[in-house]
Amino acid sequence: MAAVALGSPACGGSGGDNQGTCGSDLDCPGGHCIDGRCVGNDAGGEIPPTDGEESGDEGGADLPPVDDGAGADGDEDGDAPDETPGETDADADADDDAAADGDEDTDGDEDGDASDVPSCVDGDGDLHGSGCAGGPDCDDADPLHWNDCADCATTHAPGCACAPSEGYECYSGPAGTQDVGACAVGSRWCVGGTLAEDCEGEVLPAAFETCGDGIDNDCNGAGDEEVFGPCGTCDVTCRSDGEIEPSSGDPGSSGLMSNPDGPGVTLGAEDVRAGFLWAANDPDGSVSKLDLATGAEVARYRVGLWGNNCDSPSRTAVDGLGNAYVGARAHVGCAGRSQGSVTKMAGDLRYCVDRNGDTTITTSTGPGALALGDDECVIWRVPVGGAGGTPRALAIDLGDEAHPEGHPWIGLFSEMRAYQLDPDTGAVLNTVGLNVNTYGFAISSDGWIWASGRGPSPLIQRFHTTTLAVEPAIAIGTCGNQYPYGITVDIRNRVWAGIWLDGNCCAARYDPADGSWFGVNTRPGWGGIRGIAADADGTIWASIHQNWGGGAIASFHMDDGSGLVVRDIAGVIPVGVGVDEIGHVWTVNQSSSNVTRLTTATGALEQFPVGPNPYTYSDFTGYQRRLMIPRGSWTRDYERCAVDSFDRWGMLEWDADVPAGASLTIAGASADTAAGLDAATPVVLAVVPPDAPPVDLEAAFAGAAVTLSRFLRVTVTLEASPDRTSPVFRTINVQWHCYRMP
């Protein structure tokens, strides 16, 4: 068998009967039929000898061709050529290839020689043995016994004496192969008084596997191992990176965490994106960035339009990539400086911008801030709304395919308007008019942003971040109908507002499912609640203080207010409260210029310094958004070969569990270059349910009328069910085909 290069024209090429095409592996002896071409070995089977010899000849001599019934002259009788003048066909082929022709095949192997006639193997000279006229020999090493060997009763060897119709199971294959794979025992029957040499019906190990038939042809116990290669198919052109197990730490991962029950990812967050607290230092025009694990201030950034007290920064929020935003109110009376703004800060160095091109990120690394505009981890600063608009509410939405990390929404108190900003540039994308003076925003898992309204009366109101629908404002229906301050949403999508100056430190809950109100008085006789937060365990946390002094953290269960605990803290005037993923609850303390950290497992309380007079009571760790987020995404880029015109993409496979009401969407984008992927048109490849693997990538792109090129970006989006049950995404496998590569 002559081996050829993959994709070579010699494989089923124009010189053979296939004329370069094939319909199945049967058309490609020793090779494989791939996309209508034989690949692997020469399609013609054994290569015809080049020196004129036939099978069984000594070789070297120029012998006449063997008559195959057609004859060398084409007259189908194998005798003298028709062109011989005056010829008559002496035998007229009336003898059906009689011996007189000289072309009779005496051994039945169709090659016309005598070399394959069975020969007698007689090891002991008793005229019995394999292929001998005397018959088989039950012991070919003993000339005195050929049909009465001592072990005939147990071995039932060929030649042993037997009675008519007597037969026994037999198997002549290698030890350990019987009844493995295709191999099976046969039967040895009594013929002429001795057991025959033939073992009828036995199946012995094949010399090679038949690829893809699902049978262990060579009986080695390894199954159909000819289903080979990274694609696990018989296609020798198939290539793959193998099954990829997604990780929450992958560069293209957002809103995901490791699957706690095995491989893969599920919705959540656990890495650097959940690693910092962002406290706005009101009179300093700066934001302190604290490490949640150590409490240390790892950076301080100048923000706003002037970077000083005139900006009066306050609410902060964190997106799905760990980048933070801060709204600056600009409401303190600085002459000509009443323009509110939003600043975006990088949560990780990879998102910072090397503006001066020196290949080094110039940034703050501690409590000292650089001059306004000098820090390359301050990504952008933009004015929002008109002068005097007063940004006082901030939240990040749940994102979309283009920006799964989410878009910032800033609420302007005086304008009663919400602005959606572009995460890349800060440009305004959408605006929504409201009926309340916005004081805080909180996102719910169904895409609504709830606003706490401190005017024109105690209200809450919601608008949808995708449809931009606005629902009527709702009057506070509990806690003495007082004005709300901080706002959050629990895991059942119920809205909680901290009520300030009600005298009972009351937390008000509104359930949009039935329109009901419920209140919890956390410390009667104190001033009220400033900040409020919810966690994944169903606990509501509130920062409270007595008029303009003292401070405490209150907690209770979200369903009925049970388990109320109030912990006094050293921090003075805790305006905001927030939760993190590593077991802490934090308060931002305005008067004492620090933060308090409660370790929930031990009850330990610690204080850490920040800038002067921090004033933040929004989602300053990003936990509240991550608690609500029903969507996460994972992205990976692939590159296939591009050498042969037949090179192409293959199948897409995946492994995932998607509960009822949840979904998993796989989209692809393709371009000629890696750089072109960012602007490439996405194509939905599968939506689970109902789709199931595999998906033919070429067919999917063709169906969408989008060109599928050398580079491919695959994005997998997980969406939770209405009851917040997450899909589990375990593996993905992208395949492609290379015809001229090893």
Instruction: Say if 129 falls within a structural domain.
Output: no
The count of structural domains within the chain is 3
- Asked whether residue 468 is assigned to any structural domain, the reply reads yes
Quickly state the pLDDT bin for 209 (edges 50, 70, 90): confident
Residue 600: give its domain's CATH number: 2.130.10.10
Q: What is the pLDDT of residue 119?
A: 87
As beta bridge partners, residue 634 has: 253, 716
- Residue-level pLDDT at 1: 31
CA–CA separation, 482 vs 411, rounded Å? 21
Q: For the segment 315-347, what is each residue's pLDDT rounded down to a tens digit?
A: 999 998 889 999 999 999 999 999 999 999 999
Classify residue 378 by its DSSP letter: E
Predicted confidence band at 4 (pLDDT cuts at 50, 70, 90)?
A: very low
Q: How confident is the model at residue 275 (pLDDT cuts 50, 70, 90)?
A: confident
Selection from 13-17, 24-28, 385-389 with the highest mean pLDDT: 385-389
- Give the burial string for 657-688 (b: 16+ CB within 10 Å, else e): bbeeebbbbbbbbbbeeeeebeebeebebbeb
Residue with tokens 């052109």: 237
> Which residues share a beta bridge with 577?
587
Distance (Å, whole) CA 336 – CA 108: 109
> What strands lie across the sheet with 408-412, from one edge to the other?
391-396, 408-412, 417-421, 428-433
pLDDT digits (tens, 9 = 90+) for 572-597: 999 999 999 889 999 999 999 999 99
CATH label of the domain that carries residue 258: 2.60.120
Note the pLDDT of residue 234: 72
Q: What is the pLDDT of residue 101?
A: 41
Mean pLDDT of 702-709: 96
Rounded mean pLDDT, 11-31: 51
Which pLDDT belongs to residue 66? 34
Lowest mean pLDDT among 123-132, 253-262, 700-709: 253-262
- 131 and 119 in contact (C-beta within 8 Å)? yes
Predicted pLDDT of residue 269: 54
φ, ψ of residue 365 in degrees (nearest 5): -130, 20
Do 401 and 486 belong together in one domain? yes
H/E element, 626: helix 623-628
Higher pLDDT, 236 or 482: 482
Same domain, 430 and 366: yes
Q: Which of 58-72, 647-661, 705-719 has the lowest mean pLDDT?
A: 58-72
Per-residue pLDDT for 73 more than 70?
A: no
**Taking CA 643 as the corner, what is the angle to CA 638 and CA 646, rounded to the nearest 5 degrees?**
90
Name the amino acid, one letter, at 28.
Answer: C
Query: Would you tell me how many other CB atoms lie within 10 Å of the CB of residue 300?
Result: 24
389 shares a domain with 508: yes
The token duo for 606 is 């610690």
449 CB-side CA count, 13 A: 35
pLDDT at 118 over 90: no
- Residue 432: helix, strand or coil by DSSP? strand
Q: Mean pLDDT across the stretch 13-32?
A: 53
Q: In terms of domains, do 641 and 555 share one?
A: no
Given pLDDT bands bounded at 50, 70 and 90, which one contains residue 79?
very low
311 touches 631 (CB < 8 A) = no
Q: Which pLDDT score is estimated for 116?
A: 52
Domain boundary among the residues 571, 596, 628 is at 628
pLDDT tier for residue 75 given thresholds of 50, 70 and 90: very low
Q: Considering the domain boundaries, does residue 77 fall inside one?
A: no
Q: Tell me the pLDDT band of 83, cut-offs 50, 70 and 90.
A: very low
Q: Using CA atoms, how far apart are residues 306 and 300, in angstroms rounded to an integer?
A: 15
Any idea which residue has 């009351």 for tokens?
A: 506
Closest CA to 53 of 62, 44, 45: 62
Last residue of a domain, one of 583, 608, 628: 628
Same domain, 692 and 563: no
Residue 103 lies in a domain: no
Same domain, 604 and 642: no
Compute the mean pLDDT over every residue in the chain, rounded to the nearest whole number.
85
Q: Kindly state whether residues 407 and 503 are assigned to the same domain.
A: yes
Q: How far, rounded to the nearest angstrom, does the alpha carbon of residue 39 sit from its chain's CA centroid? A: 31
**pLDDT at res. 236:** 77
351 occurs within a structural domain: yes
pLDDT digits (tens, 9 = 90+) for 484-525: 999 999 999 999 999 999 999 999 999 999 999 999 999 999
One domain for residues 304 and 258: no
pLDDT score of 505: 97
Question: How confident is the model at residue 284, as a pLDDT?
Answer: 97
Q: Which of 593, 628, 663 is the last residue of a domain?
A: 628
Q: How many CB atoms lie within 10 A of CB 51?
A: 10
Judge if 327 and 429 occupy the same domain.
yes
Q: Which domain does 358 fall in, by range?
A: 272-628
Distance CA(330)–CA(310), nearest Å, equals 6
CA atoms within 13 A on the CB side of 78: 21
